[in-house]
Amino acid sequence: MGQAGLGTEVYMTPQPNSGKTGAQQFDEMYGYLTKSGIEIVTVWVQVTSPINWSTSIAANVNFVESITARAKQYGLRVGIYTNYYDWSQITSGLIADGTMLWYWNVYGPGVAGESPPNFTDFHSFAGWVAPVVKQFAQVESVCGVTVNRDVFETSSLMQPVGMEEFAKTKQIVVGVLGLRNTTSTNTAQVKL
C-alpha cells in the first residue's frame, strides 16, 4: 500500500484526570494516527473547562507541559486552544513558550452568541502577544451542519508548513495553521 504523504493538524482534548500522563495520552494519539498513515504537522491542545482539571495547579502545569514537550520531541508545531480565564484557572498563567494560541471568545450558542470575527478583543496573556486563530461562534447551523466558527490570521509573509516540501515532492501536506512566521497583519479570514 502506498503512502499519500498527507499531513494534518490534530485537535487533542486531553483527559487530565484519567490516570495517564499528558505524554502517555499524546503518545497513544500520535501512535494511532501515524500507524494509520496520517502525517501530523501541528497539534492543538485543548485547555478549557477548569472543572475538568485538577485543583492542583502544579499537576495541571506538569500535565500540559508533558504534552507540549512530547509533541515537540516529535518535531511538531504546538498550539493551545484556550482563553484567558480558562488558562489562568487551570495553569495560573503558565508562560506558554514556543506555542501558538487559538483562543475562544463566545457569548453563547448560535448566531446571537457570536463575538466579532476579528482579533480586536484579544489581550495578551501567558506570553502570547498575538493569536493565530480565534473561535468567535459555537453551535451554529451552516448548510444543515452544526459547526463552530473561527477566524485566522492571513499574511503574504506567512508560508504554510509543508509548502517547501510540496514544491520538491509534489506530495500534499494538509494543515496550514502551523505557520512558520506568525507576524500579524490584522487581516482576518472567516473559516466555516
Beta strand extents in the chain (DSSP E only)? 7-12, 39-46, 77-82, 100-104, 133-142, 145-153, 188-191
Share of the chain above pLDDT 70, in %: 77
pTM here is 0.79
What pLDDT was estimated at residue 106? 97
| Sequence-distant (≥ 6) Cβ neighbours of residue 65 within 8 angstroms | 22, 94
Strand duo 145-153 + 133-142: pairing: antiparallel
What is the domain count for the chain?
1
> What is the reported pLDDT for 188?
38
- Residue 137: is its pLDDT beyond 60? yes
1 is a domain residue: no
Alpha-carbon distance of 142 to 7, in angstroms, equals 26
Looking at residue 175, its pLDDT comes to: 46
- pLDDT for residue 89 is more than 90: yes
Record the cell numbers describing residue 181, joined without a space: 512566521
Q: Please, is 24 exposed, middle or buried when counting C-beta atoms within 10 Å of its C-beta (0-12, 13-18, 19+)?
A: middle
Instruction: Kindly report the average pLDDT of the chain as a whole number.
Output: 84
pLDDT at 33: 94
In a domain, 61, yes or no: yes
| Residue 2 domain flag | no
Range of the domain at 156: 7-191
The band of 8, judged by pLDDT with boundaries at 50, 70 and 90, is confident
Dihedral in degrees, nearest 10, Cα atoms 173, 179, 180, 182:
170
**Which tens digits make up the pLDDT trace of 145-160?**
999 999 988 763 344 4
* 126 has pLDDT over 50: yes
Check: CB of residue 179 under 8 Å from CB of residue 132: yes
> What CATH number is associated with residue 51?
3.20.20.80
Calpha distance 134→15 (Å, rounded) = 23
